[in-house]
Structure 1
Amino acid sequence: MRWFEGSIPAAIAAAKQRRCVFVVVITGSDDQSSQLMSSWETDSVWEAAQNCCVAIRVDAESEACVQFSQIYPVVCIPSSFFIGENGIPLEVIAGSVTEDELKRRISKVSQMHTQQMSAERANETEEAASKESLSVPMEEDGASGHMTPAEDASQPDEALDSKVERITKKLEERREQKKKAEEENELRKEVERRKMGKEMLDFKKKQEEEKTKRLLEERNREKAEERAARERVKQQIALDRADRAARYAQSQAEVEAARVAALQARASEQESRRDAAQRERSAFARIQFRLPDGSSFTNQFPSETRLLEARRFAAQEVGGRYGQFSLATMFPRREFTDEDLQRSLLELELTPSASIVLLPQSSSAVVRSSASGGVWTVLGSLLYPLLSVWRYISSFLFSSAPAAPPPAPQNTHGPGAAAEPKRDAVRKRILEKRPEDFKKDGKIYGYGLKKTTRGDNNTWNGNSTQQM
């Protein structure tokens, strides 16, 4: 499209000079303006408009558009104004149109402009003829003194009046026709104006509907995005809660596993300590031998030592005072047989400590004692085992060591006086053979083992029973 390069007044003057339609195209920077300009720039539109239009392009933000809108209201952007020779818009296109529609509008405007020009030429011709008819030269009639047309000088006055009347009538008819044509033109312009107003209203309505639709779509899109964002937040919160719960469960599981592992390790350590202590305690057996007279002595043996060797040690310690004797435990009540003498202390469950009572098997020792000590010595020998048992039971029932048994009545002037030095000799011999770890605390004697528990720290005194 070849646009006019000058100003709007210069374009109007060029349109009047060429007797063409003055076209003003107002565009902006939106998409519809671009579509309208693409339709105007096609070759087919240029061919349709080049012989009947003088077109100028005006920017909607320019001063020329502001001046133009003061004369012709610009309702929407873009717009195309087709203005006739008399300054009245023949067509106004609001918004963007296609190439075919633009060609049809240009053809319609061209026909309207042609009809308008033809009507104006006819009016001008009639007015010129009327002026010529009224300006016919009149000659003076010398006889009568009246002015008559030169060509009709010979005609009578009646013919001149009828001719003037006929011309006047024709002028009146032409005025009526012209008035009627003007009324029709005004009516057509009113129709076109109403049509243009309706198109503008429809265009504005369409723009409002599109705007409302866009706003509604944007609002729906925003709501959808907001819902999606809320869903994402809810999902994230659920994931965070699940993650925290999983971490908490994992931490609890780890704490529980650590606690169980610690308990297991502690139990294993305690078990190993017990096993070590048991093995250490089981490696030796501390045997307390209780004599019928209430006295006792203690010795430590390896756990694999046979009971026979322990019996030999006891027989060596007591000598021949009691003659033949057997070994027994009181709790539980058990008397060892000849078969038990061949078994080890560990097999007989006498480790780590045990108390064994020496039971005489004949009365020879009693007879010998009676011969040397009298009746009271015999009774004391018979009752001492029972008193020893009673002391042993009392030590468990009352948790305290029973009092030492009263000494058997002896005759200081008879043979019983000779038995006392023998007991002192036996006690002295026992003390001389005590082990290195045997210790004394006042009148209390005990074994100080290197690795013994509190329950295994047993004490012993000369006359009382062992404190378990």
Structure 2
Amino acid sequence: MLWFEGSIPDAIISAKQQSCVFVVVISGEDEQSAQLMSSWEEDSVSEAAQNCCVAIKVDAKSETCVQFSEIYPVVCIPSSFFIGENGIPLEVIAGSVSAEELIKRINRVKQVGVKILDCVQHHFLLHSVCLPLALSLSHPFRLTKKLEEKQEQRKIGEENEIKMEIERRKVGKDMQDLKRKQEEEKTKRLREERNREKAEEKAARERVKQQIALDRADRAARYAKTQEDENAAKMTLLHAKQAEQEVRKEALLRERSTKARIQFRLPDGSSFTNQFHPQSKLQEAQHFAVQEVGNRYGNFSLATMFPRREFTSEDMQKTLLELELAPSASIVLLPQSGRPGHAVVQSSEGGIWAVLGTLLYPLLAVWRFLSSFLFANPRPRGAASRGSSIQSNSYINSDSDKAKRETLSKHNLEKRPKDFKKDGKICRLRTQDDSEDDNNTWNGNSTQQM
């Protein structure tokens, strides 16, 4: 489509010079505007409007559209206006139409424009023929009539001026009266509003006082209720915590009663841990130790240090619960040096040899640990990693197991014979040369107190 690039006045002048229809297309940014513009851009529409229309595009948000809408009301967007030479709209298309419908409208506008042009030309010919004849016949009569009309118009004008002056004065008086009445009504209204505001303020103060009293009573009641609710909630929470603690204790006791945690301590100082059923036999624990250790220490026996006890073949058929190894215990692997196993040795019956074994066992363990590094073959990497992982797990013991072992060790020490004496946690042999001077204490500045 060939659009006119100038302003609307220039487009109107161009349309009159070419005796064409002036077309104004108003479009926006919506979908219908895009469809209408695509219809105008069709080749068939361009050919139909090429010789009969001067078309111009106008944006719906522009100032040109506002000025155009003051003369021709724009009902909707998009719109297409077909305006004739006399300024009368020949066709108005509201909304979006197809290219075929647009061609039909253009052809209809062409036909209407041709008819109007013929009528105008015919009227112009008749007027040009009859006008000289009428002027020649009625020239004197028409001059007289014009003079009379002018006098009559002057007289009517004077009367109208007098009436207007009277009306103006009357209107001025009425305006003054109206203004005075308005001032009086305004003063009266202000007085009434002031009185009403005072009454409303007084009523509002009363309502505020009543509301404050109600709020205080309500706040006191809510505070009392909140305190009761908080106390009830605290008691409920306390009971719930106590019940939860009881449940945890029962679960812990139940779990401990269903598992026996055994720590196996090796001669080289390392250890590993495993869990067994409390009804499992000690032989099962020995088989597990054999599988873990292999032939590194040859034949070995199982023993506990606190209390000092070495298990025999008869104990292998007893359960861990019967041997008091549940829920947890620490078993030492003692390599056999060719001596036959004998009965269970209690710390209270071992005499001086049991005490010597207890004192010398840490030194023996350290010597075996150092000899394993200095004289023995290096351990396989898998066994080392397993031993380190087992040793890391060996330090995880419950508080109840520790308390039980401490109770047993204290009971064992109390049962020992009096041929040794206890100094703190260190026990040593008692001889006849010992005197009471050994019981002296030392103060903070390294001086001995008798």
In the superposition, the TM-score normalised over structure 2's length comes to: 0.35
Return the TM-score normalized by structure 1.
0.33
Q: Max radius of gyration: which structure?
A: 1
